[in-house]
Chain A
Amino acid sequence: MRGDVLTAKLLARLDNFTLDVSLQAPVGVTTLFGPSGSGKTSTLRAISGLVKLDSGFVKLNDTAWTTLPPERRELGYVFQSSALFPHLTVEQNVEFGARTPEEVARWMKRLRLESARERKPSTLSGGEAQRVALARALARRPRVLLLDEPFSSLDAGLREELVGEIKELVEAEQLVTLLVTHSREEAERLGGRFLHLVGGKIP
């Protein structure tokens, strides 16, 4: 069993506020909770390397990630908008960053996407699109999973289903998972730890 711990001290001056967050996330779900504009998404982007830090660090256990570009950090990122590549089929999306063909087959099956393999993202429902985005992130065999409001476009039934799915996956794969949400209810259903962000800071 892995006992990964993600530690980050993030200081970044962004367009309309300064992100100043220190956090430690062990295996399991850590929920970043807070109102719109509080810096939740910026925190995930800084951890993934998509936002450049003015100072601070990101590390997984003793491995420094701070100077690594996003493509060299062992993470999977599910964006709020799914961000599926519209010119590729479902299967090609999952293959995009996959470590091996076996990982593609495994996550296509696990997330019940086999019958949709030839479909283009524009033909998928919101729930299907988020499952593809999740499969695509997991096929990369990440150690850290970043989830940016993955349930926001889903109706209540689908949301319930995906919450259960993610909870199960995180436990089975022993992933350090950071989930961004502005819904207290969603955060509580996933359990784990909570971090409340206000104005780019954890008060």
Chain B
Amino acid sequence: MFAVLLAPLVLSLQIAVVATLLAGSLALGLIALTHGRRSAALFDAVLTAPLVLPPTVLGYYLLTVLGRRSALGGAWEALTGSSFVFTRTGAVIAATITALPLVLQSARAAIDAVDPTLLDAARTLGATRLAALRRVALPLASRGVAAGLLLGFARACGDFGVTLMIAGNIPGETQTASLALYDAVLAGRDADARVLAVALTLVAVVMIGAVQWLGRRAHAR
């Protein structure tokens, strides 16, 4: 039984790791481009929307943009011979999109909280705008960024709706723990459902606990 349940759990963790790294890179890249600029609010509003949009709506948008008949999806398929839809690549994209708002919000708040005089000082000491962010703001905001990554990981690990819409529910290929849990409930496999639910809950609790620990350390400084 455990081997059957282990595969979706491992896949969830693998997808969450890649998605968190991607979301972290996207969030930091976007913050670097928009820090201190008016456009930051606009980008943040658009990229935070997945937090409140129904997963089906988000999945629909992703299918529209990345589906086989879309320009992007077609170009990707011509280039790699594979599709975004019903593949692990699609599952990673779904998890990245759902993790991004949490990573972006947390990292943005932490970087915005850094005293702007420190960034001004760095500029007068020869650092470019980007170097000042990298050498001063990022180290000082590292706990906030780490908290965002942990929350993003927990969210990516547990995604259901968006993953189902774009990657489907293919056992051994795109069936993550959340999807396997759904299948187990539908098939009346209560014991399997319980194990998966407890495992996903543990991941979430450990991540939230780590975020709280980071918060306490930041206050204790």
**A positions within 8 Å CB-CB of B:** 45, 48-50, 69-71, 73, 75-77, 79, 81, 83, 85-87, 96-97, 136-137, 140, 146
Contact = CB atoms under 8 A, between A and B. Distances in A.
Nearest to A76: B124
B117 interface: yes
B47 interface: no
A83 B117 contact: yes
A50 B140 contact: no
A86 B140 CA distance: 8
Contact of B139 (A48, A83, A87): A87
Interface string B113-130: 001011011111111110
Contact of B125 (A81, A87, A97): A97
A137 B123 CA distance: 11
Contacts of A97: 122, 124-127
Contact of A50 (B124, B127, B135, B139): B124
Nearest to B135: A96
A96 B125 contact: yes
B176 to A, nearest CB: 38
A81 B117 contact: yes
Q: Is the interface of A mostly helix, strand, loop or mixed?
A: loop
Nearest to B121: A83
Given A79-B117, A85-B136, A146-B124, 5 more contacts: A50-B124, A77-B121, A83-B120, A86-B118, A97-B127
B140 A79 contact: no
Given A83-B117, A83-B118, A70 B123 contact: yes
B122 A96 contact: yes
A178 to B, nearest CB: 13
A87 B127 contact: no
A45 B123 CA distance: 11
B140 A87 contact: yes
A48 B124 contact: yes
> Does more than half of chain B's interface fall in helix, strand or loop, or is it mixed?
helix
Given A87-B139, A87-B140, A71 B120 contact: no
A45 B122 CA distance: 13
A136 B125 contact: yes
Contact of A71 (B115, B127, B136, B140): B127
Contacts of A71: 123-128, 131
A106 to B, nearest CB: 17
Contacts of A76: 124
B124 A75 contact: yes
Interface in B87-138: 115, 117-118, 120-129, 131, 135-136
B16 to A, nearest CB: 29
Contacts of B125: 71, 96-97, 136-137, 140
Interface string B135-173: 110011000000000000000000000000000000000
Contacts of A77: 120-121, 124
B120 A79 contact: yes
A161 B124 CA distance: 25
Residue of B115, B121, B122 ringed by the most chain A CB atoms within 10 A: B121
Nearest to B127: A71
Contacts of B129: 69
B111 to A, nearest CB: 14
Given A79-B117, A83-B117, A50 B123 contact: yes
B126 A140 contact: yes
A45 B135 CA distance: 21
Contacts of A83: 115, 117-118, 120-121
A137 B117 CA distance: 14
A45, A83, A86, A146: which has the most chain B beta carbons within 10 Å? A83
A124 B50 CA distance: 46
A97 B127 CA distance: 8
A73 B127 CA distance: 11
29 contacts: A45-B120, A50-B123, A50-B124, A69-B128, A70-B120, A70-B123, A70-B124, A71-B123, A71-B128, A71-B131, A77-B120, A77-B121, A77-B124, A79-B117, A79-B120, A83-B117, A83-B121, A85-B121, A85-B136, A86-B118, A86-B140, A87-B136, A87-B140, A96-B122, A96-B125, A97-B125, A137-B124, A137-B125, A140-B125
